[in-house]
Chains A and B, each alone.
Chain A
Amino acid sequence: MKILVAVKRVIDYNVQIRVKEDGSGVHTDNVKMSTNPPDDNATEESVKLKESGKVKEIVAVTIGDDKAQETVRKALAVGADRGIHVKSDTYIEPLGIAKILKKVVEKEKPDMVFLGKQAIDDDCNQTGQMLAAMLNWPQATFSSKVTLKDKSMEIVREIDEGLETVEVNLPAVVTCDLRLNEPRYASLPNIMKAKKKPIDQMVAKDLGVDITNRVQQLKVEEPPKRKAGIKVANVAELVSKLKNEAKVI
C-alpha cells in the first residue's frame, strides 16, 4: 500500500506572532518557521505503518514557496521515500489546496492520504475533508488511533463528547490529532540521507485547477488586550476578591 502525506510550512508554534501595523497580515520576516505540528503526526503515523510492513511507499507533498521544501525534507528525514513540491509563491485557500492535492492523488494513486487536522496559522480545519469530498472518499478526522486492516481502517476520533470509532473503506483521507503518536526526531545520518531522496517539482498554476481565492482578507488586527491584573498574597485574599470585587462566586 501507498500513503501520501501532506505537510505545510507555518510559523513555529512557539512564536508569539506580531500583527503588521498596516493591517495587511502578520510579520513573517526573520520568524522561525517549521512544519505544522499535526502534520508531523501524519508523517509519523505513515512511517509507523511502513515499519509494520503493511505500507510499501510514503510520498510527502507540500504546496508553497521554495522554502516549503524544508517540510518535505523533514518528512524524508524521518522516513518518507520521496517528495513532491508544488510551487506557489502566493497564499492558496484550503479549497484550492484540496484541488491541487486531488491532482497529486490522481497521479500517485495512494491508498491513504494523511494530513494534520488543522494548520495552526489560518486555523481553518478544512483541507482533508474537502479533499475527501472531491475524491468521493471517506474520511476520518481528528484521529487519535489508526488500525489498518486489509481493505479498511478502524479509526478512533477525538470528538467534543469523548471518543468515536469509525471504520472507513480504503482509499480514505485521515486527518491527524496531536495525540495520535509522538513524532520522532530525525537522526543526523537520516537527515544526510534525506538530501539524496528525490523531490519532484510541479507548479500550482500549471495543474489546470481553479485556485483563485474567493475569500478576501480585508484586514488583520490585534485582539483587544486584557487589562493588567494583580497578584494576590494568599488564598483568603483571592476568595475575597472573587466574592466581593469580581462578584463571580
Chain B
Amino acid sequence: MSVLLIAEHNNKNLKPFTLNAITAASKIDPEVHVLVAGSGSESVAKEAAAVPLVKKVLHCDSLNYQNYLPENLAPLVTKHSEKYDHIVASANTFGKNFMPRVAAALDTSQVSDIIKVNSPDTFVRPIYAGNAFATVKSNDKKRCVTIRPTSFEPAPKTGGSAQIDKVDAADVPNFSKFVKREETKSERPELGTARIVVSGGRGLESGENFKLINDIADKLNAAVGASRAAVDAGYISNDHQVGQTGKVVVPDLYIAVGISGAIQHLAGMKESKIIVAINKDGEAPIFSIADYGLEADLFKALPEFLSELNKLNTIQK
C-alpha cells in the first residue's frame, strides 16, 4: 500500500516539479517511494532521499535511462510497480510522455493532470482547458496518476534520510534513439516556478519587440511567457508558451501584454494570483479575468512601465 513516484531530473539534480509531485503523492498515501532512473545519477538519488516526505528511494543507474526515452523507462516502471497501488509522475512533457505506456502495460486507465486529491481513488482534474473541473473516481486496482505540479506546494527538500535501494534494470526494446536536446538557456527564473511572469502575444508584432517584455522581466526578476500566437508566429521559442497545450503557470503576478485572451491561453494562466492585462483593444477577453486592466498601446505603455519601475526604491525579489 504505497505510492511509486517517478522522479524527473537531469542526472545531476531533481527537477523542481518533482518536489510538487512528492507533495501530491503524499496526499494519496504517506508511504511515498521515489524511483530515480538515470545514468550517473547518484546525486539525484541522494537528493531524493533527503526529502523528508520520501520513505524510500529506488535507484536504477544505466546508460539506457540517460535520456528518459519512454520506450526504455516505461518497462522499468512497470517492472517495479508490483508492490504499489499508485504510480505517479508530474503532468509535464516528462510524465505525459511515458506514463500512458505504463498504464497500457498494466491495463489501467490513467488519471491525467490532477489538481486535487480527495481520497486515494478520487481526484479533481480540469477538462475543457480548465473551463470545467471533473471529480473522478478510479475503479482500477492499480492507478496511474499524473499531477499538475503548480497545484501543489513543493515538498521541503532537506532533513530526511530515506534508504536508497539499487534496483535492477529492465530489458529495453532498442527501437528508438535519442539524438539531441536543445535546451533554451536563460538567466531568468524558470517559467513554471517563477513568482512573476511577463507574457507577450501577437500584439508584440515581432521577435525583436520582445525586448520590451524582456526588459520588464529583468527589472522584476520575472520569467518570460508567450501566447501560442506569438510562438506560432516565430517571435519566441516553444518553451515559453503558456496555455492548454503549453505550460500552466500560477505566479503571484502575471502580466499579459498584447494578448487577447483566447480560451487556450487562459487555460494556462487564469489561476495566477494577480493578473494584469495591457491591450489596446478594450473589448479583448483578457480584461474579463484581469485584476488590473490597462487599455493602452503597448509600445507606449511598456517603456513607461519600465521607467515607473525604475522610480521605485525597492522591488520585491
Instruction: List chain A positions with a Cβ less than 8 A from chain B.
Output: 11, 13-14, 16-17, 19, 26, 38, 93-95, 98, 117-118, 120-134, 136-139, 141-142, 144, 154, 157-169, 177-179, 213-223, 226-227, 229-232, 234-236, 238-239, 241-243, 246, 248-249
Alpha-carbon distance between A161 and B264 when the two chains are bound, in angstroms = 20
A144 neighbours in B (Cβ, 8 Å): 238
Q: Would you mind naming 16 contact pairs between A and B with Cβ atoms under 8 Å apart?
A: A38-B245, A95-B108, A124-B110, A126-B112, A158-B238, A161-B181, A162-B239, A165-B179, A167-B179, A216-B138, A220-B135, A222-B131, A232-B293, A236-B304, A238-B308, A243-B312
Asked if B92 CB lies within 8 Å of chain A CBs, one says yes
Q: Given A124-B112, A178-B228, answer yes or no on A230-B293 (Cβ-Cβ < 8 Å).
A: yes
What number of residue pairs across chains A and B have CB atoms under 8 A from each other? 262
Excluding A122-B127, A162-B181, A234-B294, 4 further A-B contacts by CB distance (< 8 Å) are A118-B245, A178-B228, A218-B137, A246-B292
Alpha-carbon distance between A125 and B100 when the two chains are bound, in angstroms = 8
Alpha-carbon distance between A133 and B103 when the two chains are bound, in angstroms = 9
Rounded to whole Å, the gap between the CB of A211 and the closest CB of chain B is: 11
- Whose C-beta in chain A lies nearest to the C-beta of B110? A126
- Whose C-beta in chain A lies nearest to the C-beta of B219? A249
Q: For A166, give its contact among B98, B178, B184, B275 (CB under 8 Å).
A: B178
B247 touching A160, Cβ below 8 Å: yes
B100 touching A164, Cβ below 8 Å: no
- Whose C-beta in chain B lies nearest to the C-beta of A116? B245
Interface centre among A141, A159, A221, A236 (most CB of B within 10 A): A159
B127 touching A133, Cβ below 8 Å: no
Binds A, one of B30-38, B44-52, B53-61, B169-177: B169-177
A122 neighbours in B (Cβ, 8 Å): 127
A162 touching B253, Cβ below 8 Å: no
Q: For A217, give its contact among B97, B104, B136 (CB under 8 Å).
A: B136
A16 neighbours in B (Cβ, 8 Å): 131, 263
Alpha-carbon distance between A188 and B289 when the two chains are bound, in angstroms = 40
B74 touching A133, Cβ below 8 Å: yes
Alpha-carbon distance between A165 and B180 when the two chains are bound, in angstroms = 5
Q: Given A177-B245, A222-B132, answer yes or no on A216-B139 (Cβ-Cβ < 8 Å).
A: yes
* Interface size counted on chain B using CB atoms at 8 A: 90
Rounded to whole Å, the gap between the CB of A145 and the closest CB of chain B is: 11
Alpha-carbon distance between A133 and B276 when the two chains are bound, in angstroms = 44
B293 neighbours in A (Cβ, 8 Å): 229-232
A215 touching B137, Cβ below 8 Å: yes
Contacting A at CB under 8 A, from B69-83, are 69-71, 74
B136 touching A229, Cβ below 8 Å: no
Asked if B290 CB lies within 8 Å of chain A CBs, one says yes
Interface centre among A134, A166, A215 (most CB of B within 10 A): A215
Rounded to whole Å, the gap between the CB of B188 and the closest CB of chain A is: 14
A167 neighbours in B (Cβ, 8 Å): 176-177, 179
Alpha-carbon distance between A127 and B99 when the two chains are bound, in angstroms = 11
Alpha-carbon distance between A95 and B111 when the two chains are bound, in angstroms = 11
- Whose C-beta in chain A lies nearest to the C-beta of B112? A124
Alpha-carbon distance between A160 and B91 when the two chains are bound, in angstroms = 11
Rounded to whole Å, the gap between the CB of A60 and the closest CB of chain B is: 22
Give a binary string over B188-220; 1 marks a CB under 8 Å from any A CB, 0 the rest.
000010001000000000000000000000001
Contacting A at CB under 8 A, from B121-163, are 122, 126-140
Alpha-carbon distance between A248 and B228 when the two chains are bound, in angstroms = 26
